Amino acid sequence: MSRERMIELLKKQRLVEELVHSQNQPRQALVETIVQRQHLGELHNLLGQLPADEIAAVLESLPAEDAERLWTQVAPERQADILWEVSDRLGERLVGAQEPGFSDSQMNAYELVEGRLRQVSIQRRQDLVGLGAIWIDLLNATKAERACLGKHYGLALPDPGEATDLEVSSRFQVDEAQDIHLHSNFLLDREGDARSVPVIFILHQGMLFSVRNEELPVFRLLRRRASTQPGYVADAKDLLLDLYATDVEYSADSLEDIYATLGKVGRQVLSKNLSDNEAATILADIAEEEDLNGRIRGNILDTQRALSFLMRCKVLLPPQLDEIRQILRDIDSLNSHTAFLFDKINFLMDATIGVININQNKRLSKMTVFGVVFMPLNILAGIGGMSEFSMMTQGIPWPLAYGGVVVAMGLLGWLTYVGVRYFENRKGEAAAA
C-alpha cells in the first residue's frame, strides 16, 4: 500500500508542476512551493516507514526520472543500505561511481601474515576481491551489508538477535555445503550489567565468519594476542578454538571477582553490628553475584557443547583436538567452582536473613519487656481510676494520695524491669556455659 501511495504522490507532484508551469499566474511560485512541500512531507513519512529493500524495489519499478526524484528525498544515513539493494545500473545512475562502503566498526577482515593477524580495511565492495582473509568479523552489520558479503562468499549471514529463538539442537549444525554453523553465547561482564551476548560463527571454505551486535572483551583480547604473538593462530579453526578458550579465561576472571565480592560480603555479614538497611544492601549484592555465577555456568556449558560438537565433526587436526581437551578440562574445574560459589551464596543469604530475623527478635524482645513492665502499672492505674479509691483514701489530701500512687507505680515498674533483666542475664549465662 505504501509503495502505491509513493508512486501516486510522485505522479501528482509531476502533474502539479506541469499545470502550474503552463499557467502564468502572479502567485505561481507560491502555489508551487506549497504543493511541493505537502507532497514532500508525505513522501518523507512514507520513506521513514519503509525498510531499505522495499524502497529499493520502488526505485527499480519507477522510470529513471522518478527514481532520481525519489532518491533526493532519501535520508543520507539510509542511502548506503538502499544502494546495496538496487542493481548496479540503477545505483550508477543515482550516485554515479560512488559505492556503498563498509564501516570499520561494522566489518573487519583479518589476514595471516608471517604468523600474525593483520587487519585489512574494507571500504567498498571491490576491496573484497582477492582478499585472503581467514577471519571476517561483523559487528552491528546491517541486513544489506550481511547480504552483500554473503553473496560475495556464497553463504547466508543471519542476524544474531534473530537467531536466539533457535532450538538448542539446531544451534550447532553442518549444512549441505559442509559449512559448520555455531550459535554460541559469550559472557559480557560489566559492573551492574552482566549478560550473555549471542554470536554466530560459520566455518566456510577455510574462513571464519563471526556475526555479533555488541563488542566483547574476548574478541579484543584475541585480536591483541594474535596480532602481536607470531604463530598464535594457524588457520580459521585455530581462531575459533582460541575464541572459546579466551571466553573460558574471561569466565574464570569473573569467578575470581565473585570470590572477592563474596569475601567482602562475608566479613560484613559476620560483623557484630549489622543494621537492616546494610543487610538489605548485602542481599542485593548477593543476588547480583548469584545471577552472574549462573550466567557464567550457562556460558561455559554452552562452550562445552560447542566444543563437543566440533570434536564430533571430525574436521580438526590432532593438536586442535588436544587443545579442545585442555579447554574441556578447564571448564570442568570452573564447574566445580561455580557449584562451590552457589553453596557459599546460599550460606551468606541464609546468614543475612538470619541477622535480619535476630534484629527483629531484639525489637520484639524490647517490646515484650515494655509490656511486662507496664502491665502492673496498668492495674494500679485502673485501681486509681475507680470510685472506691476515693473511699480508701478518705481523709488523705488528694495530692498525697495520688502522689503516693505515682511513686508506687514507678517503684513497681523499676522492680519489674530489674527482675526481667536479671532473668534474661541468667538465661544468657546458662546458654553460654
> Per-residue pLDDT tens for 142-171?
777 888 788 888 898 888 877 655 555 678
**CATH superfamily of the domain spanning 107-356:** CorA soluble domain-like (3.30.460.20)
Grid cell in block for residue 66: 522518478
Q: Which amino acid is at 205?
A: Q
**DSSP-derived 3-state class of residue 317:** coil
Q: Which of 103-112, 220-229, 276-285, 314-323 has the lowest mean pLDDT?
A: 103-112
Residues with Cβ within 8 Å of residue 147, at least 6 apart in sequence: 84, 157
Please tell me the distance from the alpha carbon of residue 330 to that of residue 246, in angstroms, as a whole number.
Answer: 11
Question: What are the tens digits of pLDDT across the range 367-386?
Answer: 776 666 666 666 666 665 65
Contacts of 327 (CB under 8 A, 6+ apart): 241, 244, 245, 248, 303, 307
Q: To the nearest whole number, what is the mean pLDDT of the chain?
A: 78
Residue 282 contacts residue 272 (beta carbons within 8 Å): no
Q: Is the pLDDT of residue 95 over 80?
A: no
User: Mutual orientation of helices 2-22 and 64-71 as an angle, nearest 10°?
Assistant: 100
Q: Hunting for cell 584475541 — which residue is that?
A: 222
Lowest average pLDDT, out of 79-88, 223-232, 292-301, 409-418, goes to: 79-88
* CA distance readout (Å), 24 to 15, 31, 142, 329, 376: 16, 12, 49, 87, 109
What is the pTM for the complete model shown?
0.69
pLDDT tens-digit readout, 170-225: 788 888 888 999 999 999 887 767 888 999 999 998 899 999 988 899 999 999 99
The pLDDT of residue 104 is 43
| 58 closest CA partner among 12, 13, 5, 98 | 5
Q: What is the domain partition of the chain in residue ranges?
A: 2-95, 107-356, 361-432
Place of cell 572459546: 244
